Structure 1
Amino acid sequence: MTDILIVDDHDLVRTGLKNILGGSRGFNIVAEASTGEEAIRLTRKLEPDLVLMDVGLPGLSGLETTERILKAQPEVKVIVLTAHSEPPLPARLLDSGASGYLTKACDAEELIRAVQKVAAGERYIGADISQQLAISLLPGTPQSPFQELTSRELEITLMLTQGMKMQSIAEVLNVSPKTVATYKYRIYDKVGVSSEVELLRQALRHGLVSADV
């Protein structure tokens, strides 16, 4: 039996995933979480075999949450299930130790197949993600301006595009507001923007976030 923790900030999505996976033999949904902080706490407490993780969580994003979970509990398997298929998020999450990456456009059969494979110790990357990753490596392919960001810069970018203030970001990441400000302007310089509005526009244009952010 594979114990699964579902992490998504939308009740309807969690209910749908629970119905799909809970109705399949061999899967046991042990808990649900709507934030990264809650996911970390529940993973530590319940020690699930697998975490199904959304990226666009309020506060601590799925990227940072995945990294923290796997640093503390490397035996846990994480499958990312998100609307974001554009670089650099898939590569960063896979590099951080995620065992699978699917978009929410996948069907129930693919989701079940991915969970089965990852639970068995394999990796699973959806066909659309694989295509995006392959295309991004081709010579002459235009690169996203977010490709040059470090994982921490990417995490702060996701928070800024949610409209979070620097003080709130500092509290979530346990750093000083001054440190967040330094990261913020470093991000502006790398991406080529001068305001949070421009940063959001670039994030939308390059598929880093979706329009319902």
Structure 2
Amino acid sequence: MLRVLIADDHEIVRRGIRDIIESHPGWQVCGEAADGQAALDLAIEQQPDVAVLDISLPVLNGIIVTRRLRQESPRTNVLLFTMHDDDETVSGGLAAGARGYLLKSDSEDHLEAAISALGANRPYFSSFVSELLLEAAISERKRSRLESFTMREIEVAQLIAEGNSNKQIARLLKISVKTVESHRAAAMRKADVRTAAEFVRFAIKHNLIRA
């Protein structure tokens, strides 16, 4: 039995993925989540074979969830199923450990093929992503700035961009305000920004939050 977890903040998208999985003999939906923290908690509990994640998830985005799953549920293969096709987001997702990357504009047949491939421990990429990877192999790849962020810095970055104060972030992440300030300074330095407004633009550009 191939066990699949679905995480997307749009119920209609989750329903469409679920219908594909449930129509396939030998596949089973073992959990659904509408935000990244719930997806992470479910994946750690259920240990699915495949996790189908959107990138722009609330609370924890899909890239940080992918990083965490690589550490805490290494047998789970992550398929990033998203509308984002810019090279920095693709690079960030693959660097985080995703084994598949599929665009929501791709057909249902591609989604079924992607889940099947990851279930067999094979990677799967949309044709657009495959072309990006080919270009990167031929020419020197430009590193995504997100790749230099630690997991905690990405968490703090998302919460900053969502408008949380240092005290609110400290409470949410159960760390000290001083530690938040340190991560905030490091994240802003790596993003090469100086103001909160510039940081919000950076977060939107890199799909840490929705515009």
TM-score range, shorter chain: 0.7 to 0.9
Query: 1: distance between equivalents of 2:95 and 2:48?
Result: 21
Aligned amino acid, residue 177 of structure 2? P
1:157 is matched with 157
Aligned amino acid, residue 54 of structure 2? D
1:16 shift after superposition: 1.8
Secondary structure of 2:52's counterpart equals strand
Aligned amino acid, residue 178 of structure 1? K
Structure 1 position 32 matched with structure 2 position 32: yes
1:123 shift after superposition: 0.8
Query: 2: distance between equivalents of 1:61 and 1:211?
Result: 8
2:103 is matched with 103
Aligned amino acid, residue 25 of structure 1? P
Closer, same or farther: CA 161–12 of 1 in aligned 2, 3 Å: farther
Any gaps of 5 or more consecutive residues in structure 2? none
1:140 shift after superposition: 8.3
Closer, same or farther: CA 134–193 of 1 in aligned 2, 3 Å: farther
1:130 shift after superposition: 2.8
2:14 is matched with 14
Structure 1 position 61 matched with structure 2 position 56: no
Secondary structure of 2:78's counterpart equals strand
Any gaps of 5 or more consecutive residues in structure 1? none
Query: 1: distance between equivalents of 2:48 and 2:192?
Result: 41
Secondary structure of 2:24's counterpart equals coil
Aligned length: 210
Query: 2: distance between equivalents of 1:100 and 1:74?
Result: 15
1:59 touches 1:169 (CA, 8 Å); kept in 2?
A: no
Query: 1: distance between equivalents of 2:145 and 2:91?
Result: 12
Residue deviations 1:9-68, cap 9 Å, x none?
221221121123222333211221112222222223323221111222211222222222
Query: 2: distance between equivalents of 1:155 and 1:31?
Result: 23
> Could you tell me the TM-score, scaled by structure 2's length?
0.82
Query: 2: distance between equivalents of 1:99 and 1:144?
Result: 18
Query: 1: distance between equivalents of 2:29 and 2:75?
Result: 18
Secondary structure of 2:31's counterpart equals strand
**Which one is further off, 20-29 or 99-108?**
20-29
Query: 2: distance between equivalents of 1:2 and 1:145?
Result: 33
1:112 shift after superposition: 0.6
2:130 is matched with 130
Query: 2: distance between equivalents of 1:87 and 1:81?
Result: 15
> Could you tell me the TM-score, scaled by structure 1's length?
0.81
**Which one is further off, 173-182 or 119-128?**
173-182
Matches within 5 A, 1:1-213: 1-135=1-135, 143=142, 146=145, 149-152=148-151, 153-204=153-204, 207-209=205-207, 212-213=210-211
Closer, same or farther: CA 173–80 of 1 in aligned 2, 3 Å: farther
